[in-house]
A and B are shown apart, each in its own frame.
Chain A
């Protein structure tokens, strides 16, 4: 049994598909993929774009068979969607903080204090703002946060797979097409 079928089985378990039906689908899929491989054809030949997203493929199949309601499937996908949104938001925040630390000049507390008008003595002296380069600690920290944030955004994007949605219109039409 290959990785694709194993991923499908995980999804069927997650969706609460009855084990007998899940085993039957897994066996049929394994046999079909093995036959295609024996004929020198790739899994993509059998599964098309579905080969890139075993979970969606498995959910579509189980839903079509009436083994899991579409609403239940959607509801079970929600935690994953929320987790992705959370990761993306946190990554964006970390990226912005990192960017601010790297790009924005660091103003030390001493300089801020120096900006205050001196109240002692007759002339009200206002010192010019001293802008200094990023601090020795802030810049590496900013770079690290920037890297972590960007990595998080890339990870969220990879898990979300928006290119599947861009491909979706034609795919959806085909998926929902009823031949009869």
Chain B
């Protein structure tokens, strides 16, 4: 959604292009539903390119804060795991 508002299938394609096939399991719709229910996304209906009107999703202010917080948590977790793996690898090579 950082790349701009998108409708469900459009988001599926964006994620697939980035190697994230989580949406391939059809979870994008319930996922967007939860985000909408929790006020983390704003929605509006607009015409798509040559197609019927679609429901577009974009991050709300609350969603942006949650996203930033999630990114920080993810990076902290990733760094911690990387540190553990690096020390384990050093022990193996010793």
Contact = CB atoms under 8 A, between A and B. Distances in A.
Contacts of A29: 8, 29
Contacts of B4: none
Interface string A87-110: 000000000000000000000000
A66 interface: yes
**Best-surrounded residue of B7, B8, B29 (most CB of chain A within 10 A):** B29
Interface in B17-70: 22-27, 29-31, 33-37, 40, 48, 51-55, 63, 66-67, 69-70
The B interface, classified by DSSP as helix, strand, loop or mixed, is helix
Q: SS class of chain A's interface: helix, strand, loop or mixed?
A: helix
Contacts of B55: 24, 28
Q: How big is the A interface, by class?
A: 20 to 34
Interface in A1-46: 24-25, 27-29, 31-32, 34-36, 45-46
Contacts of B66: 180
Contact of B25 (A34, A35, A50, A180): A50
| CB-CB nearest 5 A-B residue pairs | A50-B26, A48-B25, A64-B33, A32-B9, A65-B33
Interface of B: 7-9, 12, 22-27, 29-31, 33-37, 40, 48, 51-55, 63, 66-67, 69-70
Interface of A: 24-25, 27-29, 31-32, 34-36, 45-51, 57, 60-66, 171, 174-175, 177-180
